[in-house]
């Protein structure tokens, strides 16, 4: 059976650069999956995918020209129903007729408890040329595109207008039509450096012909690494400010990349470098150059789609365009500095934060109250925290942030420094947005921590209070991110604060009656759910997490230390027995009819309970001292000493006796035992 490589290429107008890789991978995977499903190649077969701004292509080796023959089996009536008085029944006759055979040519096969008539035949395979157009059309229809368009007078829809279709099996052209395009063995090369159509004589020659005759590097990965190497070479002694997302985007914009180096006036370096860098990367797709200290240099690298002997006009043209962009940034910066941040704050009254939660000014006033209260709790300067919260959103009204929303906070820090604000206040302008994403850094200064917590908690409490609770994948206000930010700050900065206290303080800053009364409870539960997910991602078991949260669901600053201790405790040989005993104690204490009093030694009549009481008196100060010092592993290790007297107690002492005084005393003893064992976590929730 003949095998050869298959090549499919679809040519179009320029595809969306940020989606090119995703489109290419989806196209290739769908096509390979169809070829495997139809038996033209084996599962696990290799393939190569190609993607340029104007084409998607797939190359698959060793593809059959014709499907292997397939065994077809049809199940007919049961044997018992196929014959009536020794004669074929109408059902059996009809089944044989539909299969195009006589009854003698049918087989009988046992299927469970019944035997059935079965028709087996071999069906010839379908040629690849017959099925491939439908496979390509299906793969194109299933591409992950948000929007599709029509062109001309046709009804075909695709992400961009289509211009060409190439389908080859080895050196054979596979005729067929897909989305109104007829297959041909020709393609087009580079828009400017190639002339005329390129004839692809064999599927295996596709990449080389495009590169050598058409000036197109069709392989996306090779093109990207070529750009990376050229960027490094052009940077010379300087350093490229790498941005992998930008590298992917420019790779999707060019077919034959050539990197050139340009420069701009050093006078622009008076503008904060974040503004210049963002302008270069976002507007022009340039790679900035920096020195060893990551300070911006007056130079840039541009990835061009044109190779020329004299690139001067390309370089000068890009320098001219960049000069205009940087002049705009310079103008915005100079205009913004003419007005202090604190003079902008009253104008936040005209900016809507949320139609149910008021303006940005009302939000700022809430942040001032929350941040100053938190600063008092943490021993920070309340006045500085209040000032930082007051100015935190003022840069939203600056021209620079209006042009580059990504710079909110960053420009606030620069303008606060220019206004002569305290260093802690200026730092909080940008740091209060941290962490912005998973793995991002946290605020370093206490004032910044206070404003960051106030900002995130205001979002959580406010949105929950008006019913904007995340559902499924929908979280338009970033409440999950805000919750994780709160938890990371409290845990990683070891802040001795109560989650419910933080929520209550924030809730109190909203006008009475504005928010739902259940909001504090809902937000607290949401934070704990986020915490559970984070801890599970760190490989802690659900039982370990619940054991700690049962004792410490509000002050979570040391939860990681407690979990480490629980993990170490579970390795002790005494751990399973103590966990089981703790469960038993909890069940017994549920039966106590009244509040438990202190243990009275005079009612300790059994030797086993006397020994247990003596051990508790000895261990309680030891364990408590370790817990006070946050030495949780040592505290749980000390519990190993209670294993033997606990076992002896349950082996030899009846708790629920008829004598009410003795019963109450023994329950009080068990209550003290449970208190001792559960200072770090509720070990009764661990597997026993």
Kindly report, residue by residue over 173-214, the tens digit of the pLDDT.
999 999 999 999 999 999 999 988 999 999 999 999 999 999
pLDDT of residue 226: 97
- With the C-alpha atoms ordered 600, 604, 609, 611, is the resulting torsion angle positive or negative? positive
Whether the per-residue pLDDT at 19 is higher than 90: the answer is: yes
The predicted-structure confidence for 524-548, as pLDDT tens digits, reads as follows 999 999 999 999 999 999 999 999 9
Count CB atoms within 10 A of the CB of residue 472. 5
The predicted-structure confidence for 324-362, as pLDDT tens digits, reads as follows 999 999 999 999 999 999 999 999 999 999 999 999 999
The pLDDT-based confidence of 422 (bands split at 50, 70, 90) is very high
**How many whole angstroms from its chain centre is CA 333?**
35
User: Percentage of the chain with pLDDT > 70?
Assistant: 99
Look up residue 541 and give its DSSP letter. -
Q: Is the domain defined by 342-539 classed in CATH 2.40.10? A: no
Give the residue among 169, 160, 170 at the shortest CA–CA distance from 140: 160
- With the C-alpha atoms ordered 144, 149, 153, 155, is the resulting torsion angle positive or negative? positive
The predicted-structure confidence for 235-254, as pLDDT tens digits, reads as follows 998 999 999 999 999 999 99
Whether the per-residue pLDDT at 655 is higher than 90: the answer is: no
Give the residue among 212, 214, 216 at the shortest CA–CA distance from 226: 216
Rounded to 5°, the CA angle 380-558-630 comes to 100
The predicted-structure confidence for 65-83, as pLDDT tens digits, reads as follows 998 887 777 888 887 777 7
Whether the per-residue pLDDT at 641 is higher than 80: the answer is: yes
Interaxial angle between packed helices 499-508 and 446-465, expressed in degrees from 0 to 180 and rounded to the nearest 10: 70
CATH top-level class of 559-685 = mainly alpha
Whether the per-residue pLDDT at 122 is higher than 90: the answer is: no
pLDDT of residue 596: 64
pLDDT of residue 369: 96
How far apart, in Å, are the Cα atoms of 179 and each of 82, 139, 140, 155, 165? 49, 12, 9, 9, 9
Examine residue 257 and say whether the peptide bond preceding it is cis (omega within 30 degrees of 0). Answer: no
Interaxial angle between packed helices 410-419 and 423-431, expressed in degrees from 0 to 180 and rounded to the nearest 10: 170
Mean pLDDT check: name the lowest of 195-199, 407-411, 684-688.
684-688
Give the residue among 191, 256, 245 at the shortest CA–CA distance from 222: 256
User: Percentage of the chain with pLDDT > 90?
Assistant: 73
Cβ-in-10-Å burial (0-12, 13-18, 19+) of 377 comes to middle
What is the per-residue burial (b if ≥16 Cβ within 10 Å, else e) of 48-79? bbbbbbbbbbbbbeebbbbbeeeeeeeebbbb
pLDDT of residue 594: 62
pLDDT of residue 81: 76
Q: Are 623 and 660 in contact (CB under 8 A)?
A: no
Give the residue-averaged pLDDT of 355-373: 96
Length of the chain counted residue by residue: 688
Token reading at 139: 């793969």
pLDDT of residue 93: 83
Q: Are 384 and 375 in contact (CB under 8 A)?
A: yes
What DSSP string runs through 215-275?
Answer: -----HHHHHHHHHHHHHHHHTTSEE---HHHHHHHHTT-SS-EEEEEE--GGGGGS-HHH
The predicted-structure confidence for 442-494, as pLDDT tens digits, reads as follows 999 999 999 999 999 999 999 999 999 998 888 999 999 999 999 999 999 99
pLDDT of residue 277: 96
Q: Are 351 and 394 in contact (CB under 8 A)?
A: no
Most confidently modeled range among 68-77, 221-230, 582-591, 642-651: 221-230
- With the C-alpha atoms ordered 382, 388, 389, 391, is the resulting torsion angle positive or negative? positive
The pLDDT-based confidence of 567 (bands split at 50, 70, 90) is very high
Q: Are 522 and 464 in contact (CB under 8 A)?
A: yes
Q: How far apart are CA 462 and CA 460, in angstroms?
A: 6
């Amino acid at each position: 059976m003949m095998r050869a490589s298959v090549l499919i290429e679809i040519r179009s107008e320029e595809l969306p650069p940020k989606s090119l890789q995703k489109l290419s991978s989806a196209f290739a995977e769908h096509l390979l999956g169809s070829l495997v499903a139809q038996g033209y190649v084996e599962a696990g077969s290799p393939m190569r995918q190609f993607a340029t701004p104007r084409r998607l292509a797939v190359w698959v080796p060793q593809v059959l020209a014709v499907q292997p023959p397939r065994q077809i089996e049809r199940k007919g009536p049961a044997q018992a129903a196929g014959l009536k008085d020794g004669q074929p029944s109408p059902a059996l006759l009809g089944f044989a007729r539909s299969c195009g055979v006589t009854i003698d040519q049918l087989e009988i096969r046992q299927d469970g408890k019944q035997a059935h008539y079965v028709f087996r035949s071999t069906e010839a395979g379908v040629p690849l040329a017959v099925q491939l157009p439908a496979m390509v059309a299906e793969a194109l229809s299933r591409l992950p595109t948000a929007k599709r368009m029509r062109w001309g007078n046709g009804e075909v829809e695709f992400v961009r207008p289509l211009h060409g279709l190439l389908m080859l099996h080895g050196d054979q052209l596979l005729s067929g039509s897909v989305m109104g395009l007829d297959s041909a063995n020709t393609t087009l090369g580079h828009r400017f450096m190639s002339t005329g159509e390129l004839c692809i004589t064999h599927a295996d020659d596709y990449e080389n012909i495009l590169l050598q005759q058409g000036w197109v590097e069709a392989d996306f990965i090779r093109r990207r690494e070529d750009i990376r190497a050229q960027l490094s070479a052009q940077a010379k002694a300087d350093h490229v400010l790498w941005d992998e997302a930008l590298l992917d985007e420019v790779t999707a914009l060019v077919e034959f990349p050539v990197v050139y180096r340009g420069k701009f006036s050093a006078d622009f370096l008076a503008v904060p470098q974040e503004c210049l860098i963002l302008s270069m990367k976002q507007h022009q797709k340039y790679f900035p150059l920096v020195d060893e200290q990551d300070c911006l240099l007056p130079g840039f690298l541009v990835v061009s789609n044109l190779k020329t002997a004299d690139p001067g006009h390309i370089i000068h043209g890009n320098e001219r365009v960049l000069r205009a962009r940087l002049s705009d940034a310079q103008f915005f910066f100079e205009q913004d500095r003419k007005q202090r941040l604190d003079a902008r704050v009253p104008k936040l009254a005209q900016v809507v934060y949320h139609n149910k939660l008021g303006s940005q000014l009302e939000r700022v006033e809430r942040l001032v109250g929350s941040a100053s209260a938190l600063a008092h709790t943490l021993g920070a300067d309340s006045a500085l925290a209040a000032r930082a919260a007051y100015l935190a959103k003022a840069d939203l009204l600056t021209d620079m942030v209006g042009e580059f929303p990504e710079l909110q906070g960053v420009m606030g820090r620069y303008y606060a420094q220019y206004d002569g604000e305290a260093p802690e206040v200026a730092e909080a302008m940008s740091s209060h947005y941290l962490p912005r994403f998973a793995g991002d850094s946290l605020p370093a200064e206490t004032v910044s921590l206070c404003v960051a917590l106030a900002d995130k908690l205001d979002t959580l409490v406010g949105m929950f209070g008006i019913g904007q609770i995340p559902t499924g994948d929908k979280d338009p206000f970033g409440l999950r991110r805000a919750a994780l930010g709160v938890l990371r700050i409290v845990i990683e900065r070891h802040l001795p604060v109560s989650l419910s206290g933080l929520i209550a303080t924030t809730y109190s800053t909203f006008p009475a009656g504005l928010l739902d009364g259940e909001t504090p409870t809902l937000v607290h539960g949401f934070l704990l759910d986020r915490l559970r997910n984070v801890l599970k991602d760190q490989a802690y078991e659900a039982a370990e997490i619940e054991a700690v949260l049962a004792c410490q669901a509000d002050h979570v600053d040391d939860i990681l230390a407690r979990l480490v201790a629980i993990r170490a405790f579970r390795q002790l040989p005494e751990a399973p027995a103590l966990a089981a005993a703790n469960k038993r104690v909890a069940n017994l204490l549920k039966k106590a009819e009244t509040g438990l009093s202190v243990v009275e030694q005079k009612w300790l009549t059994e030797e086993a309970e006397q020994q247990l009481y003596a051990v508790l008196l000895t261990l309680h100060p030891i364990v408590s001292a370790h817990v006070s010092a946050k030495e949780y592993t040592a505290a749980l290790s000390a519990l190993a000493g209670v294993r033997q007297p606990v076992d002896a107690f349950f082996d030899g002492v009846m708790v629920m006796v008829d004598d009410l005084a003795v019963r109450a005393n023994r329950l009080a003893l068990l209550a003290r035992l449970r208190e001792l064992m559960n200072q770090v976590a509720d070990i009764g929730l661990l597997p026993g």
